[in-house]
A and B are shown apart, each in its own frame.
Chain A
Amino acid sequence: GENVEQHPSTLSVQEGDSAVIKCTYSDSASNYFPWYKQELGKRPQLIIDIRSNVGEKKDQRIAVTLNKTAKHFSLHITETQPEDSAVYFCAATLGSDEKLTFGTGTRLTIIP
């Protein structure tokens, strides 16, 4: 099965600076890589995703990059704001049933 590793587990960033979270996956057949944001006591919410035929995708202040050769993908948040504070999860899907395997999460804290 797929294995997804995520780093760092915690990250503190000054407001206005950039934050980067990195993930690696084990199965080269994985083809879809979403990122979820989870605020305290809430459900995970999809914030951006990328498919294996694309190297980079951007949506306003967030972007995701994918390196298929190295089997890693990253989330980039620019101009961070207090409302970006949350736990972020990366994930990868594998197989015809597209089962989603998650990383262990990164707790991002934005320091005002």
Chain B
Amino acid sequence: DAGITQSPRHKVTETGTPVTLRCHQTENHRYMYWYRQDPGHGLRLIHYSYGVKDTDKGEVSDGYSVSRSKTEDFLLTLESATSSQTSVYFCANRQESRYYFGPGTRLLVL
């Protein structure tokens, strides 16, 4: 599982509140990614990081921001949660070309 953990694993929040999800890797892989998974859409890239303080947008980045202050941690923030952001969020790292995913965070925005 490439030593990836995510926290929290489940969260219920209200519309308009900020939410931060954490991804932690035990290995020193340069690339880390945040995806969301929704029925009928597969997994879609939100943001990714190619090093400490180096991040870029994916295809569904609106309403999300990320930060990477340490190699091992990649944070995803929903600035003001909306019901459309109810989803399962997966973090991943990349070893050469291979992606390895964390266990996921199930987020419900009421």
Contact = CB atoms under 8 A, between A and B. Distances in A.
A112 B58 CA distance: 41
Give the interface size class of chain A.
Answer: 20 to 34
Contact of B102 (A32, A34, A43): A43
B74 interface: no
Interface residues of B, number: 25
A97 B56 contact: yes
A44 B98 contact: no
Interface residues of B, dominant DSSP: strand
The secondary-structure label for the interface of chain A is strand
A43 B42 contact: no
A6 B43 CA distance: 13
A98 B44 contact: no
A80 interface: no
A25 interface: no
A43 B104 contact: yes
Given A97-B48, A97-B56, A99-B58, A105 B42 contact: yes
A62 to B, nearest CB: 16
B94 interface: yes
Given A49-B98, A93-B97, 17 more contacts: A34-B97, A43-B101, A43-B103, A44-B43, A46-B98, A49-B97, A89-B43, A97-B31, A97-B50, A98-B94, A99-B45, A100-B99, A102-B35, A102-B42, A102-B44, A103-B42, A104-B41
